[in-house]
Structure 1
Amino acid sequence: MDTHTAATRYIGPTGMDPIFNRIANWLPKLGIDVAGGRLLAVRGRKSGEWRTTLVNVLTTDDGNRYLVAPRGHTQWVRNLRVAGAGEIRLGRKVEAFTATEVADADKIPVLRAYLDRWGWEVGRFFEGVTQDATDAELADIAPGFPVFRLA
């Protein structure tokens, strides 16, 4: 993957994705935890209005928490870059956070852990790269997969 393509990589919803996404987004609103899914809320970079989407929050062995964008440079990624903060929601529980984008060189262990935990769910967006990939393979795809550390 060349740098320009990776920097703009985005895989939009297709087929049944929009319908599935609507249903899946309701589950955390109702307080239902499915495989760790949470509702991410971030202020829109232009409108300032809250925008929500379903995400998986990865907690690593050292206690750090991350958001990974398997579809690439999505709207929530662009909004979070501008806002620098947001909320993780599950039912009535709302947790505010600040976010720092992770440098490509530091993404390898996070991407590996994310694929190990949710590869079954998001593997199609990684185009054949799995948790068993070499560090070099993960480094090669890293620019196309934004990662944020939450605090």
Structure 2
Amino acid sequence: MSTHVQKPGWFTVNVLNRTIAWMTRRGISVWGSRVLAVRGRKSGAWRTTPVNLLTVDGQRYLVAPRGHVQWTHNMRAAGGGELRLGRNVEAFTATEVTDDDKVPLLRAYLKRWKAEVGVFFNGVGPASPDAELRRIAPDHPVFRITVTK
């Protein structure tokens, strides 16, 4: 498994993420944003982070543009979590998508959010050939979300 991680800078952590999370907690989705809550793999405590919820062919996915970050490790251990938008809370289970199946999902994600996250994909964009998207697939975990209630 890849160990690719791009840690966010101060501005992202302290301004962007906090602003998006604040708006999302109040029920204002910014281009599909949700607050992801997942149990910590060591502490068991709820951990939260803003995420972009991708929908493709009626299925919902979470993509980790920054790579194998803490929420992805926690998701693998917990097998699911909650997506929050205002007072709406959706519990879900998560299934990790194989690298070979990520190509159309990464393309769709980049079509929607390239301006926001494109820098994390090393020059690969929505118009890139399938081979380029497949090359970067191991660096970007993708989880299929199934709502449980």
Matching residue of 2:26:
30
Matched, 1:110 2:105: yes
- Whole-Å separation in 2 of the counterparts to 1:150 and 1:59: 10
Name the CA distance, whole Å, in 2 between partners of 1:77 and 1:18: 17
TM-score calculated relative to the size of structure 2: 0.94
Which segments of structure 1 move beyond 3 Å, counting only runs of 4 or more?
Answer: none
- When normalised by structure 1's length, the TM-score is 0.93
Q: Secondary structure at the match of 2:29?
A: coil
Over aligned residues, Cα RMSD in angstroms? 1.0
Structure 1: unaligned runs, 5 residues or longer: none
Q: Distance in 1 between matches of 2:43 and 2:34?
A: 23
**CA displacement 1:74-128 (0-9 Å, x = unmatched):** 0000000000010000000000110000000110000000001111111111121
Identity value in percent: 61
**Equivalent in the alignment of 1:122:** 117
Q: What is the letter of the counterpart of residue 37 of structure 2?
A: A
Alignment-mate amino acid for residue 37 of structure 1: S
Shift of 1:26: 1.1
Q: What corresponds to 2:42 in structure 1? A: 46
The yes-or-no answer on 1:137 pairing with 2:145 is no
Partner of 2:65: 70
What does residue 57 of structure 1 align with?
A: 53
- From 64, 79, 82, the equivalent of 1:84 is 79
DSSP 3-state at the match of 1:119 = helix
Q: How many residue pairs get matched?
A: 145
